[in-house]
Amino acid sequence: MTRAFLNWGDFFAMGGYAFYVWLAVALTFIPLLLLLAHTRVQRRAILNAVRRQHAREKRIQAAQHAEGTE
What residue spans define the domains of the chain? 17-69
Q: Is residue 3 classed as helix, strand or coil in its secondary structure?
A: coil
Q: How confident is the model at residue 52 (pLDDT cuts 50, 70, 90)?
A: very high
pLDDT in tens, 29-51: 999 999 999 999 999 999 999 99
For 70, other C-beta atoms within 10 Å of its C-beta total 4
CB 19 within 8 A of CB 27: no
Contacts of 14-17 with CB under 8 Å at 24 or more apart are none
Q: How confident is the model at residue 70 (pLDDT cuts 50, 70, 90)?
A: low
Predicted local confidence at residue 62, as pLDDT: 93
